[in-house]
Amino acid sequence: MNTRDPKLITLLFNECINHQDLNGLSSLMADDHAFIDRDGSVHQPRQMMVDGWREFFKQFPEYHNIFNRIESRENLVLILGHGHWSEKNPYDPVIWTSTIVHDLVHEWRIYDDTPENRKRLNLV
């Protein structure tokens, strides 16, 4: 059960990504938090992902997410937008999903923004 709006938690989580705030990210992750990459690979639990984000931010210091659309379906939040990796690679269309359980991000997942993935996720 969530006491806060899952969209709000997702937005807060993304702000932590955009500001490279490892403490904030950790505080919003469930103990068994899972990050699922575009290729379906699963990275977990929370401490492994905090270490993973630390390395990611070192490798991609300009990275941030830009959300264009966000909607929720109970505890599942769906986001359309793009990742900004660097000035040379400023536009990477992405679909993110976050699953919020007990006001924490249980799962953060990334998909390529393709017509097939939009259809699969019922994003019209």
Buried b (16+ CB within 10 A) or exposed e, 62-73: ebebeeeebebe
Write the CATH number for 12.
3.10.450.50
82-95: pLDDT as tens digits? 999 988 888 899 99
Q: Mind listing the pLDDT tens digit for each residue in 3-29? A: 999 999 999 999 999 999 999 999 999
pTM (predicted TM-score): 0.94
Residue 61 lies in a domain: yes
Q: What is the span of the domain harbouring residue 26?
A: 6-120
Q: How many domains does the chain have?
A: 1
Structural domain contains residue 33: yes
User: Can the peptide bond before residue 115 be classed as cis, meaning omega within 30 degrees of 0?
Assistant: no
CA distance linking residue 77 with residue 13, whole number of Å: 12
